[in-house]
Structure 1
């Protein structure tokens, strides 16, 4: 629902926080609000795309800016809009996005803005010739086309009273544009550089606003499996060490078991529980031996993130193994919770039975080939 008003309005920060509060409560608690320990991951991280380590939930402020950039695009590309030519009230951030994302393919020079469009090299003239641009009236900087300037309008705009720096820049610019020739038979074309087809898309604008972050090396293992969403979300939390195991409870001074609930040998951490625990390694050994990949059985001190990166399977079977691996992690976690909260007895055979039974169901459902 917020997408429609965000296309034409700048949502106030208070409204964005209110919507995010509702989304946060729904995600972590299934209720109107979620506080404290219910929010396992910072909301800014949750809103990152999956390949960057998040859940792909839209971050409303960047999304608002990306959607507003559409107006600038339509103003320059679509002559059929009745509001074309009217003054658009868009934030400076939106104008900066549009200018950074677009470049002009020159034709007759009648629609390309001389000072503000990227048409002569990689940078805009406004950014390369600061002193000269400052000598031109702001309205002309925004409106002058390449055709008008090459026909002599630039000399009228700057006037005779140029400072030393502005005059030097004027001579340099004039030298650069002297050899430029326009094609009067073809109209200028505005290109959106952030998409492959050169056309504006809100997705490309949004993703580029989040650019510069490192890719999550485990995103492929987690999200390219066919496991149900709750299992993949658990794997995402486990990879970020955000599950409430004993080590995290201890750091916050909360009640916690002194030893692993399954093996009763070491302090419980997510890597120990899912990989290093004696019962967990028996489960992995049994399954990987049956699958013909016993070399993938984790060692006693294995780290979940490091172990995940060492797994390698044949290309055709890779997605099936990712799905099965996610199921094993999920089953061990569920069995641990059954032991802690329901008083069940730790059992390798019970976990194996649940895994094999569930694999059969997933195969019947088409999750496994």
Structure 2
């Protein structure tokens, strides 16, 4: 979107581009982002659109008088420039239809705002609000798309830990509740097993499968003990990511990278074991799963997971 917005910027600021004058098509989202990111400093106003652009103290007529704006024919809104509209109050002639009390109020408001506006000999200047210089850059267009987003520490576990890309993607899906556990299958009206395939004691949700299931809790306990972790095993935490944040506080600085990789690995292996039980008719076995996790942890450490090398036993005994 940031790069597409670049085309919008140059279509309004550089008429010498080879594609200038072409009917470029932009999505509603791109146009709305550009509209929110720019305003015009008026000069001679031969290029600024009276009804569409943001030129009245950084606002557009549509923002100031939306009901009045709706009374303007679409063709007139697209073509009327500020210079034309201000000449002998020609903009007032663009209004069509019957005006109600609210429309008349907005008409008077707009009239008062336009009284103090005077054109100059300088050309119009389009200003990009996200930079001090007022000019577009792809970097700041990209950063602007994150305005209003909510910061969250969970991303560090998902994307900053040493793990295979497919394991990171799995944990990302877990955080979005997009894994096909029984509760999600039920919401979509799809065939599903009713109980957790690992413990057969409760309805399967991702929170239950990874944290509350007695089978999984035993696996967590054995793996954390084998890695000499001092944090408690997951219990009834609200989510895996919340458990990790709490466990990190109870873990020494030296072992935290290992804890993060172990969290991803153990979760991933529990999920794989669950799938083996459902699709391959394998019987749940915490002993077999723990052995697989230990073997996989050794492979990860050999492949470059420096954090895991710190927490693994010196002998690297799988059994």
TM normalised by structure 1 equals 0.57
Deviations 1:6-29 (A, max 9, x none): xxxxxxxxxxxxxxxxxxxxxxxx
Aligned counterpart in structure 2 of residue 323 of structure 1, from 251, 261, 265: 261
Look up the match of 1:334.
272
Deviation at 1:201, TM superposition (A): 5.5
Deviation of the 1:317 alpha carbon: 6.2
1:153 aligned residue: 87
- In the TM superposition, residue 359 of structure 1 has moved relative to its aligned partner by 2.7
Q: 1:189 aligned to 2:123?
A: no
**1:75 offset after TM fit, Å?**
2.0
Work out the CA distance in 2 between the residues paired with 1:315 and 1:278: 29
Correspondence for 1:363 among 290, 301, 316: 301
Q: Find 1:232's aligned residue among 148, 162, 168.
A: 168
Residues in 2 aligned to 1:277 and 1:335: alpha-carbon distance in whole angstroms:
13
Instruction: Find the counterpart in structure 1 of residue 113 from structure 2.
Output: 176
The more displaced of 88-97 and 124-133 is 88-97
Aligned-CA RMSD value: 5.1
1:225/1:157 Cα in 2 relative to 1: closer, same or farther (>3 Å)?
same
Q: With structure 2 as the length reference, what TM-score do the two structures score?
A: 0.64
> Is 2:18 the partner of 1:79?
no
Q: Which runs of 5+ in 1 are unaligned?
A: 1-62
**In the TM superposition, what is the alpha-carbon distance from 1:297 to its structure 2 partner?**
1.2
For residues 97-142 of structure 1, the C-alpha deviation after alignment (integer angstroms, 9 at most, x for no partner) is 2663342241524333332111224531144235765777755543
Aligned twin of 1:50: none
CA gap of 1:114–1:345, structure 2 versus 1, over 3 A, is closer
Alpha-carbon distance between aligned partners in 1 of 2:100 and 2:275, rounded to the nearest angstrom: 76
Structure 1 partner of 2:28: 93
2:65 matched to which residue of 1? 129
Distance 1:358 1:217 in 2: 27
Q: Helix, strand or coil for the counterpart of 2:39?
A: strand
Once residues 16 and 63 of structure 2 are traced to their aligned partners in structure 1, the CA distance between those partners, rounded to angstroms, is 31
| Structure-to-structure mapping, 1:1-369, within 5 angstroms | 72-85=8-21, 88=23, 90=25, 93=28, 97=32, 100-106=35-41, 108-110=43-45, 111-121=47-57, 123-129=59-65, 139=75, 141-147=77-83, 149=85, 152-159=86-93, 172-180=109-117, 184=121, 187-191=124-128, 199=136, 220-239=156-175, 240=177, 242-244=179-181, 254=192, 260-261=197-198, 266-267=201-202, 269=204, 270-289=206-225, 293-299=229-235, 301-305=236-240, 307-308=243-244, 310-313=246-249, 320-338=258-276, 341=280, 343=282, 346-348=285-287, 350-369=288-307
CA contact 1:106–1:112 (8 Å) conserved in 2: no
Shift of the 183–336 alpha-carbon distance from structure 1 to 2, 3 Å rule, reads same
Q: 3-state SS of the aligned residue for 1:296?
A: coil
Against the structure 1 CA distance between its residues 91 and 329, is the aligned structure 2 distance closer, same or farther, given a 3 Å change threshold? closer
1:177-200 per-residue CA deviation (whole Å, 9 max, x = no partner) reads: 444466655750242769x98637
Q: Which runs of 5+ in 2 are unaligned?
A: 308-319
CA contact (8 A) 2:44 2:122 kept: no
CA distance 1:118–1:252, change in 2 (3 Å): closer
For the 8 Å contact 1:227–1:367, the answer to whether it is kept is yes
SS in 2 for 1:225: coil
Deviations 1:141-197 (A, max 9, x none): 434444555xx5152443599979777655543432444466655750242769x98
Cα distance in 2 between the residues matched to 1:271 and 1:160: 60
Aligned pair count reads: 295
Residue 28 of structure 1 corresponds to none
Deviations for 1:225-267, whole angstroms, at most 9, x for unmatched residues? 3321222333344452734569968x966567x6754xx5724
Local SS of the residue matching 1:189: strand
Aligned mates of 1:285, 1:101 — CA distance in 2: 52
- Asked if the contact 2:130/2:140 (under 8 Å) is kept, the reply is no
Q: Secondary structure at the match of 2:38?
A: strand
Question: 1:271-301 deviations in whole A, cap 9, x for unaligned?
Answer: 44433344533332244346565333122x5
